[in-house]
A and B are shown apart, each in its own frame.
Chain A
Amino acid sequence: MKKNEIKKGTLKRLLSYVLKNYKKQFIFVFICIIISSIASVAGSLFLQTLIDDYITPLLKDKNPIFTELLQILTVMGTIYIVGILASYLYSRLMAVVSQGVLRDIRNEMFTKMEKLPIRYFDTNTHGDIMSHYTNDTDTLRQMLSQSLPQVITSVFSIIAIFCSMVYLSPMLTGFVIVFTLLTLIVTKTISSKSAKYFLKQQYALGKVNGYIEEMLNGQKVVKVFTHEEHAKKDFDKLNEQLNENMYHAHKFINILMPIANNLANLQYVCIALIGTVLTINGTIALSIGTIVSFLQLSRNFAQPINQVMNQFNSIVMALAGASRIFTMMDEEPEQDDGYVTLVKVHIQEDGSMIETNDDSGTWAWRHPHHDGRVEFIELKGKIDFEDVTFGYTPDKIVLHDISLYAKPGQKIAFVGATGAGKTTITNLLNRFYDINSGKIRYDGINIEKIKKDDLRRSLGMVLQDTNLFTGTIKDNIKYGKSNATDDEVIQAAKLANADNFIRRLPNGYDTMLTGNGAQLSQGQRQLLAIARCAINNPPVMILDEATSSIDTRTEKIVQDGMDKLMDGRTVLVIAHRLSTVRNSKAIMVLDHGHIIERGDHNQLIEQKGQYYQLYTGAFELE
């Protein structure tokens, strides 16, 4: 789907959000809007009768009595008050309804997003995903709280006024219709022109913003190379282009209103002329009062039409936004057909296991079989890959027939150039992606049978890009275990060797982190990520370039902690620094999705193959 195209049924679907949860309120809003527009139409009709039916007769009276006028004014006052009350009620209710709908959409969107597979996040830019929550939702807010009530009111006014006009003079009404059509054509032409420039403006804006972003990200390099003047020159060019398009886009929007307004004025004059001429000629039988009333009505008719046209742009934009939001909501969520779950058990003396709610038990897989038999398998952390083949897209296979195993407690390392498929292997184990063919077993169970949540809970991950969350350091360490005690937090930090630097921070463990922990160095952030993983005590750990940003000496210190952490766990480690993987039980050298060498450090060195070359520095890793 193209970016600005609107999916079919978007409006209907959007309205269904309103009707689903706020049906009663919305019906009430609808009724109130009708009452309020009836009051306002009654008001303008009254103004006509005021002169014809009250003032003119009174003028002829020698002793004018104003009681009748007072009476009709009281009636009008009452109608007005009802109208005011109705419009207050609908504004107030509509505020709740529109904000409620926005909240519902927002929440549904986020809930949906959390369920989307990793593939979605890998194939959409973060900026695009973010804009669903910012730009797209903003357009919806505009539409729901302003345009929608406005349009409903206007439509009712248009209908009411139109009926009155037909009642007064069908012929003059025909004239008004012609004029209105003319106005619509003119506005349509102009707004399509402006739309053209708006597209250009968006494009130019994107280019300027992109340039700014790139330059500011490299600002330090600009300074080092004293390239400021150059950077200004290029910027000026783009900026001028943006200015040009922006000017045209806004110009057309700005002239729309005066054109519509004055066309209405011209229409007024024409009706006055035609009406008068025709009456004087006697072509049609109209009273002077009728012409005057009709004139007023025709002015009132133009107003809501202009208002609808004004709202038209924002409605189209909102529908485009809604369409993008719905596209995201319609993405296929992550499927989970797993039925093997992780439970706590007590192991009896005879080796059999009994499920328990008690925290002191050991973890085990609960495997219900088709025949109703339930088997318990102790969670140990044995990993098997059997002829695994995988590609992110069907036409490009990144892993070919990978077979490997890790016994509980073993450390297996993957080395190889960028793009060799190291990270892909870990993406498959936790089922961020599903394999094309082959089998992956965890403690002998095919991981496709395991409930994803439980599978992932049993795997600890430390990734190259550490992502920290807004909150204190303590919050971040206990991220995966919200009920962890302070003691556990400190213990985990000590294990990762993070305790030292945390204590040196002004507020220690209560230091607030914002913007992905920008105030910490990359190395420190990685230490935190390791601590965060440690606190969960998972039987299997995946370390994807976890120590790449830590210098070798610090890594050595971390390594001691890591060794403690890894003790008794199955560990899959990916590293480009070979000192990190040296003590692994087995090292796999990957190349273009194939395992080309495997063995422990000494064996591989003796083979004098690729690993040997890497190790002696004869070959570049990245």
Chain B
Amino acid sequence: MIKRLMKSIREYKTPSLLAPFFVALEVVLEVIIPLLMANLIDDGIYQGEMRLVYKIGVELIICAILSLIFGMLSGMFAAKASSGFAKNLRQDLYYKVQTFSFTNIDKFSTSSLVTRLTTDITNVQMAYQMIIRIAVRAPLMLIISLFFAFSINKSLSLIFLIAIPILGFGLFYISKKVHPIMERVFKRYDALNNVVEENVGAIRVVKSFVLEKEEIKKFKHVSNEIYQGFSKAEKILAFNGPLMQFAIYACILLISWFGAKIIVTTNMTGLTTGELMTMFTYSIQILSSLMMLSMIFVMITISRASIERIVEVLEEEPSIKDKKDPIYEVKDGSIDFDKVSFSYVGKKEKECLKNINLHIKSGETIGIIGGTGSGKSSLVNLIPRLYDVTEGSLKVGGVNVKDYDLEALRKEVACVLQKNVLFSGTITENIRWGDEKASKEEVERVCKLAQADEFIQKFPKKYDTYIEEGGTNVSGGQKQRLCIARALLRKPKILILDDSTSAVDTKTDNLIQTAFKEEIPDTTKIIIAQRISSVENCDRIIVIYHGEINGIGTHEELLKSNKIYKEIYNSQTKGSDTNEKK
């Protein structure tokens, strides 16, 4: 898992290595400095040797300056490495998502992908920065300090060998006990956020059902669970500090006792008073690096969930991939469904399309009509290979869609999705999604075709009008027409409109259809609609019911032969016979 993440370090390997390297140097100096300070006291001040005081003083200043430089360098490299790593990781994730098929996207859901790309990456970055500095610092500090302590006095240093395992075990035991509690608490945290999110989004529902009190109760319940969980965890964690203090104080007392004895009995030859002071410094350094190690342990466990979520995306296999020697040219706009079955989850019981046989000639205009969830969108989504068929085969231009280069296929099969999205940017920029190099005239032409030019001209800035994110500043009908124009700019061989004129008035809808007939007669057009009026002039209309083709024919034929079609027709015209347009 960690290995997968490490791949994203790339060009930041050097700073990632330099940071711990300088940390190591800094640590060495941090251990030497107390040693020099001891010398300063023992040899310089106590002896009244001014020369030595100066000499050691200068050495100390040099060491401090070096330590400063190393410390700053390690800090800078760590910052560079960690923010660079985060950058690469973000990029890798984002690029990976770009390779995802619709199935992959459905699996993760947009909001969870956004969280992974934002919060999770920040967590991992913090952990990474911590690791390349402290994960090096702590053990190194421990070892070097221990080494110097031993070089000062072996028997006295044995005290550390007793203290370290006791403290280490204690700290380990505490974090082990706390970790599962923390994990539970964080889950409850998600639940809490969920309650808030639902309430913020559904405040009108809550208020109109007058359920504020119940919602508050619900919230307080979760809030209290978090309180209990956290208190429990922190009560255990409260042992950390005192345990640490206990270890340090015990060491100090023991060192004082035995140290004093050694000093006095050996008359300063076995141990000097300055060295004794240094031993105190080392005991704090050694034991606090143990503390740091346990902190790293906690950090890693906290970020583990984030790491898992990121790796899950990185290791996701795109369910649709290009073939090895793909075909780059789509001959014409014919479409053939042969015994096609399809299920989003790949399970037979949950098929949403069953045994579809359908042959569409190039240039034909096909209408598709059917109820909510009958499988209309699923059917057309198969054509640009947004999903793969579960069974059977689907051919476009006489070639199985799986044999095409995806980009080539999708260039010829333009799809206006049901959930239309416009992006922040000007109208022209949005339309040019269809073809980046399209000229201004070209853009205006397709907008006229899609009956969008008229309202665009009414905007003060016309084609340079800025569209807000999600297209919130244009009406639904305008948005749909812009999306149609965007698709038209591709000059596709097959054009699919998935309920794309639902918000457009019938008159304009008819104008669009007429324009299609006259301007792009060779393009195969597939129109999904709720309104009969949107499809009644199609060459053929397909009625889909529960994932199966219930009827195919012209408007007149279906009115006579198809019960469902007739029902839909009646539902839209009932009661209007007296005053409807003639």
B105 touches A (CB below 8 Å) = yes
Contact call A268/B37, Cβ cutoff below 8 A = yes
Contact call B75/A255, Cβ cutoff below 8 A = yes
Assembled-state Cα–Cα distance A49/B75 (Å):
38
Contact call B505/A620, Cβ cutoff below 8 A = yes
Query: Which 10 residue pairs across A and B have the least CB separation, nearest first?
Result: A258-B71, A617-B506, A254-B75, A467-B202, A95-B234, A91-B238, A250-B79, A218-B421, A523-B372, A620-B505
Assembled-state Cα–Cα distance A618/B580 (Å):
12
Q: Choose one: A220, A470, A621; the contact of B194 (CB below 8 Å).
A: A470
7 contacts between A and B (CB under 8 A): A126-B197, A228-B98, A254-B133, A255-B76, A265-B63, A456-B207, A616-B581
Contact call A59/B193, Cβ cutoff below 8 A = no
CB distance from A620 to the nearest CB of B (A): 4
B181 touches A (CB below 8 Å) = no
Among A17-25, A129-137, A387-395, the stretch in contact with B: A129-137
A216-B114, A268-B37, A622-B476 as given contacts; A551 in contact with B372, CB under 8 Å: yes
Q: What residues of B have a CB within 8 angstroms of the CB of A110 in the complex?
A: 196, 199, 216, 219-220, 223
A231-B98, A617-B506 as given contacts; A114 in contact with B199, CB under 8 Å: yes
Assembled-state Cα–Cα distance A501/B249 (Å):
70
Assembled-state Cα–Cα distance A43/B256 (Å):
12
A73-B253, A84-B249 as given contacts; A243 in contact with B68, CB under 8 Å: no
Contact call A230/B469, Cβ cutoff below 8 A = no
Q: Choose one: B68, B129, B567; the contact of A262 (CB below 8 Å).
A: B68
B519 touches A (CB below 8 Å) = no
Contact call B242/A88, Cβ cutoff below 8 A = yes
Q: Choose one: B105, B133, B227, B264; the contact of A99 (CB below 8 Å).
A: B227
Contact call A269/B61, Cβ cutoff below 8 A = yes
Q: B333-369: which have CB < 8 Å to A?
A: none
Query: Scoring A residues 257 to 268 as 1 if CB is less than 8 Å from chain B, else 0, what string do you get?
Result: 111011001101
Among B40-48, B156-164, B390-398, B438-446, the stretch in contact with A: B40-48
Assembled-state Cα–Cα distance A87/B244 (Å):
11
Query: Scoring B residues 134 to 148 as 1 if CB is less than 8 Å from chain A, else 0, what string do you get?
Result: 000000000000000
Q: What residues of A have a CB within 8 angstroms of the CB of B212 in the complex?
A: 114-115
B224 touches A (CB below 8 Å) = yes
Contact call B86/A255, Cβ cutoff below 8 A = no
CB distance from A153 to the nearest CB of B (A): 10
Q: Chain B contact residues: over half helix, strand or loop, or mixed?
A: helix
Q: What residues of A have a CB within 8 angstroms of the CB of B201 in the complex?
A: 126, 467, 516
The residue of chain A having its C-beta at the shortest distance from the C-beta of B207 within the complex is A456
Q: Choose one: A99, A129, A130, A620; the contact of B231 (CB below 8 Å).
A: A99
Contact call B90/A80, Cβ cutoff below 8 A = no
B33 touches A (CB below 8 Å) = yes
The residue of chain A having its C-beta at the shortest distance from the C-beta of B407 within the complex is A226
Among B298-306, B410-418, B457-465, B553-561, the stretch in contact with A: B410-418
Contact call A121/B200, Cβ cutoff below 8 A = yes
Contact call B82/A250, Cβ cutoff below 8 A = yes
B113 touches A (CB below 8 Å) = yes
The residue of chain A having its C-beta at the shortest distance from the C-beta of B267 within the complex is A59
Among A2-10, A64-72, A306-314, A398-406, the stretch in contact with B: A64-72
B327 touches A (CB below 8 Å) = no
Q: Choose one: B41, B264, B490, B571; the contact of A292 (CB below 8 Å).
A: B41
Assembled-state Cα–Cα distance A295/B246 (Å):
25
Q: What residues of B have a CB within 8 angstroms of the CB of A103 in the complex?
A: 223-224, 226-227
Query: Scoring A residues 544 to 584 as 1 if CB is less than 8 Å from chain B, else 0, what string do you get?
Result: 00000111111110000000000000000000000100110
Contact call A118/B204, Cβ cutoff below 8 A = yes
CB distance from A279 to the nearest CB of B (A): 9
Contact call A622/B197, Cβ cutoff below 8 A = no
B1 touches A (CB below 8 Å) = no
The residue of chain A having its C-beta at the shortest distance from the C-beta of B567 within the complex is A553
Contact call A218/B423, Cβ cutoff below 8 A = yes
B18 touches A (CB below 8 Å) = no
Among B2-10, B52-60, B165-173, the stretch in contact with A: B52-60
B17 touches A (CB below 8 Å) = no
Contact call A482/B214, Cβ cutoff below 8 A = yes
Assembled-state Cα–Cα distance A208/B239 (Å):
41
Number of interface residues of A (CB under 8 A): 157
Assembled-state Cα–Cα distance A209/B61 (Å):
46
Contact call A55/B196, Cβ cutoff below 8 A = no
B564 touches A (CB below 8 Å) = yes
Number of interface residues of B (CB under 8 A): 162
A236 touches B (CB below 8 Å) = yes
A126-B201, A239-B90 as given contacts; A217 in contact with B470, CB under 8 Å: yes
Assembled-state Cα–Cα distance A246/B88 (Å):
13
A261-B71, A622-B476 as given contacts; A222 in contact with B98, CB under 8 Å: yes
Besides A291-B45, A469-B198, A582-B576, 13 more A-B contacts (Cβ < 8 Å) are A80-B245, A106-B192, A110-B216, A126-B201, A221-B421, A227-B433, A243-B87, A250-B79, A253-B79, A276-B53, A516-B198, A579-B571, A601-B575
Contact call A83/B98, Cβ cutoff below 8 A = no
Q: What residues of A have a CB within 8 angstroms of the CB of B74 in the complex?
A: 254, 258
Q: B58-82: which have CB < 8 Å to A?
A: 60-61, 63-65, 67-68, 70-72, 74-76, 78-80, 82
Assembled-state Cα–Cα distance A104/B426 (Å):
48
B237 touches A (CB below 8 Å) = yes
Contact call A226/B406, Cβ cutoff below 8 A = yes
Q: Choose one: A61, A88, A242; the contact of B239 (CB below 8 Å).
A: A88
B324 touches A (CB below 8 Å) = no
CB distance from A201 to the nearest CB of B (A): 9
Q: What residues of B have a CB within 8 angstroms of the CB of A121 in the complex?
A: 200, 203
Q: What residues of A have a CB within 8 angstroms of the CB of B504 in the complex?
A: 620
Q: What residues of A have a CB within 8 angstroms of the CB of B214 in the complex?
A: 482
Query: Scoring B residues 543 to 582 as 1 if CB is less than 8 Å from chain A, else 0, what string do you get?
Result: 0000000000000000000001001100110111011110
Contact call A219/B109, Cβ cutoff below 8 A = no
Interface-central residue, B76, B109, B239, B504, by most chain A CB under 10 Å: B76
Q: What residues of A have a CB within 8 angstroms of the CB of B486 in the complex?
A: 225
A515 touches B (CB below 8 Å) = yes
Assembled-state Cα–Cα distance A69/B262 (Å):
13
A209-B118, A219-B105 as given contacts; A59 in contact with B475, CB under 8 Å: no
CB distance from A385 to the nearest CB of B (A): 19
Contact call A145/B50, Cβ cutoff below 8 A = no
Contact call A467/B205, Cβ cutoff below 8 A = yes
Q: A6-62: which have CB < 8 Å to B?
A: 43, 47, 50-51, 54-56, 58-59, 61
Contact call B94/A235, Cβ cutoff below 8 A = yes
CB distance from B118 to the nearest CB of A (A): 5
Assembled-state Cα–Cα distance A316/B307 (Å):
30
Contact call B268/A555, Cβ cutoff below 8 A = no
Assembled-state Cα–Cα distance A254/B76 (Å):
7
CB distance from B132 to the nearest CB of A (A): 11
A251 touches B (CB below 8 Å) = yes
A113 touches B (CB below 8 Å) = yes
B263 touches A (CB below 8 Å) = yes
Contact call A51/B273, Cβ cutoff below 8 A = yes
Q: Choose one: A230, A295, A554; the contact of B41 (CB below 8 Å).
A: A295
